Each structure stands twice: as structure tokens, then as C-alpha cells.
Amino acid sequence: MEIRLTQKQSEYVREAHHRWNFAVGAVRSGKSYLATLYTIPKRLTDMAGLKGLNVILGATRDNVERNVLAPMRQIWGEEFISDINTKNIAMIFGQPVYVFGAEKVSQVAKIRGSEIKFCYCDEVCDFNADVFEMLKSRLSLPYSECHLACNPAGPNHFVKKFIDQAMASDGKVDIFYQHYTIYDNPFLPQAYVSGLEAEYAGTVYYDRYILGEWAKAEGMIYPEWKKALEPKWDGDTRAYCISCDYGTLNAFHALKWKLDGQGVWHCTEEYRYSGREQGHQKTDEDYVSDLAQFCRDANDSIPVEVIVDPSAASFITALRRRGGFRVRTANNAVVDGIRDTAAAMEIGTIKIADNLEGLKEEFIGYVWDDREDCDKPIKVNDHGMDALRYFVRTKHVNKPKSEYTSPFIQNDATKRRFVL
């Protein structure tokens, strides 16, 4: 099997022999693939027998399994990459490797005080800042190497600040930095690239995930939201769903969704009640009754799925006690949900009735908080936006990426070799 490398990947193979080695940039540009194919196996085998620990870090341990270990097994086979055991160790090419999530310092307590010879960091921009600080002091051996890959975040992110300081240190910090755009991978099908460009068009994610830039999230979060508007849809319904953001004194906002035969979800109605504005706080049972009335047009043969804010434990209990609803707790990943919602509106997998005045008002005022170093929306009058995000992220209605064969591998050769 012949393995082809892009020019950027070949450069990384030649040049990334420093204490800090960063591959930063666009999605699908080949950063992670090179790590699983070459960097991790090569460094582990080269450093076998040397003092120090091998470590792989990701946003969570599950992320490491999904983004690093599973792809490595596909490339190299399960005999070379084991499962993660109860001691957080995976055997990779015969070498013990500690695998941890980096969302909390407590997750990596086992390596505090240890010396690390090799570390691979997957999506380092999603790490806890204190974990990254701890990592700096652990790369204390003369031959220690850390390889880090990520899609860029905002220009004030702690990783970007470290890179800038290191690059300006006149060689005092031993660093190699490489920037990728999606166009640095010439093996991607043009239709696939065009699809990604369309998904992220008009958002900060175009700058980050297509151009690979450290772009600031500012202004309107959904600047192209009007593209998703349509006259209220009233066609043949294949599935029926309610998504809601729960509130007692704050607003309770629910959205009604109907699926058509083409795979498009139509938001046809909204329900909103604010105890603070009305001067009367409703009970969980009141809201359950209101939702039952809100769903009065549902076909008896189609189950009503209700996606609920996961923090609304008492309301979820009341819904289940009432019966007649299929209750599902929402995926509440804020930034990922915003990205997926922007993509779904851009490519047309969700549509919104143009008479939903409450939701339209929120779109206009839903903006990034430019006072924050990380991506956060300003939390004012955003309950409909949360209900929208819950639906998209939980139902995965942003169009799946097209499947394609790995562009880096030619299967017509009889043995694995690199083409540099």
C-alpha cells in the first residue's frame, strides 16, 4: 500500500523535531491523519527504552479514542494499538502510553510530577488552560517532544498567546509551527471542499475551518439567518419534534418541528412564556399541559419527541409522569451547537416559518461577547436560540459530511511506503 503525503505533511515529517511542534489550521487538511499514520508511531518506537512517559491528551478520553486510537487501528491494525485499560494506559506499538482527557487538571493528576518524553495533544484549543500550563513543566528531558494539532480558535486564546510568545523568543523556546488551509490538501474531492465552504460561509467558522485562521468571533452569530426563512410549511409530516429551553421566571421557549419527505426539518410554530414578564410563575405541570396543547395537531400515529434542556430535571420528570411524550435530554454543547446550526441553516436542512416573531427577534440580538477570550454568546433573550441549538445538535440535522476514501492512501501497491 502506497501512502501519499501532501507538501505540508512532508514538511512536517522533515522539520518537526523540536520540543514544541504545532500543526494548526483547517479541517480535513491532513494534520490528524499524519499524526496517526506517522508521528505517533515514529516517536514511540524511536524513544523506546528512553526515560520518561508517553502521553496522549485530548479534550476528553473518549475524544482520544475516537479521534486518535480508532483511526490508528484502522491504519495499522488492532494488534498494534490496544484498548485503554483501567489505569488509563494503551499499548501502542509495544509502548505504554497514558491517555487522558484534558478538560480538568484532576484528570491528569497521575502525570503531575512526572517527566514526559513524548506527548501528542489532539485539539489542544479545547484543553483546560491549567492542564496546558502543567504540560510545560513536564517536558523536562533533553529529548522531550510535544506534538500538538488543532483547529484555530480566537486570537486571544491561551494557545495562540503561547505560540506568539514562543515564535518571538529568538529561539529561546524550541518551537516549530505549521499553518494549514483546506487547500493544502490537494487530494480532497472538489465537491467535498465546496460543500464545506458552503456550510461555513458567512461565519467565523469559514475563517477557522477553511482558511485556518485565528479569527475572532464577533458581531451577529447567525448573520445569514434570513436564508432559513420560509412561509409556514404545512405538508406531509414524516416525524414530529418539540425542542424547548426551560424557564421558570426566565422565558420558557419551545419550537415545533416537522420533517418532510426530503429530509428537511421545518420549524412551524413557537411557544413562549416568561414568568417575569407576565408576573406569574407557571409550574412544571402547567408547562406540560401547555405543551400537550401545543402538540394538538400531531398525528396519533407519529410519536412526539420532546428535546429538553438537560438542566430541567423537574420538568423532565413531569413530562415522563404525564406520558404521551418521548423525552430526550438535549446535547448542550454551545459552540459546537452554534456551528452545526449555522451549517444547517446555510445548507437548508432546517427551515423556519417567517411568522415566528419571537425567534426572529432573538436572531437579530444574538451576538458574540467580544469581552471574552473564548467563544461565548451574550446571554440575553436567547431562550429560542438555545431551543434551536438543542434541536440541531441533538438530532444531528446538519447534513452529514460526504463519505470519501482517504485521499492519502493508494491501495494498488503491495506494501506500505511514504511518498514525500
Q: What average pLDDT does the segment 160-170 reach?
A: 96
How far is the C-alpha of 307 from the C-alpha of 386, rounded, in Å? Answer: 11
Averaged pLDDT of the chain: 90
The alpha helices in 168-295, defined as continuous H runs, are: 190-200, 204-209, 275-278, 284-294
Q: Is 218 left (phi over 0), alpha (psi -120 to 50) or beta?
A: beta
Q: Phi and psi for 212 in degrees, rounded to 5?
A: 70, 30
Q: Where in the chain is the domain with CATH 3.30.420.280?
A: 225-395
pLDDT at 303: 80
Residues of the chain with CATH 3.40.50.300: 2-207
The helices-and-strands tally (H runs, E runs) of the chain is: 15, 17
CA distance 252 to 244: 7
CB atoms within 10 A of CB 332: 15
Whether the Cβ atoms of residue 391 and residue 280 lie closer than 8 Å to each other: no
pLDDT at 104 over 60: yes
Interatomic CA distance for residues 336 and 339, integer angstroms: 5
Residues 325-374: pLDDT tens digits? 899 999 999 999 999 999 999 999 999 999 999 999 999 999 999 776 77
Once rounded to an integer, what is the mean pLDDT over residues 53-75?
95
Tell me the CA distances in angstroms from 34 to 37, 54, 120, one per residue in order.
5, 18, 12
For the chain, the farthest-separated pair of C-alpha atoms sits apart, in whole angstroms, at 75
**What tens digit of pLDDT does each residue of 203-254 get?**
899 999 999 999 999 899 999 899 999 999 999 999 999 999 998 888 999 9
Average the pLDDT over 13-40 and give the result: 96
pLDDT band of 2, cuts 50, 70, 90: low
- The reported pLDDT for the residue numbered 399 is 56
The Cα 92–Cα 45 span in angstroms is 9
pLDDT at 113: 82
Confidence of residue 272 (pLDDT cuts 50, 70, 90): very high
Q: Look at residue 410 in the predicted model and tell me its pLDDT.
A: 45
Q: Give, in degrees to the nearest 5, the angle at Cα 349 between 386 and 313.
A: 30
Quick check: 253 and 357 in contact, CB under 8 A?
no
**Domain 2-207 sits in which CATH superfamily?**
P-loop containing nucleotide triphosphate hydrolases (3.40.50.300)
Measured between alpha carbons, how far is residue 113 from residues 52, 116, 136, 192 in Å? 11, 10, 12, 45
pTM of the model: 0.79
Instruction: Look up the CATH number of domain 225-395.
Output: 3.30.420.280
Q: Identify the band that residue 315 occupies on the pLDDT scale cut at 50, 70 and 90.
A: very high
What local confidence, expressed as pLDDT, does residue 108 receive? 84
**Beta bridge partners of residue 325, listed in sequence order:** 304
Between 106 and 382, the more confident residue is: 382
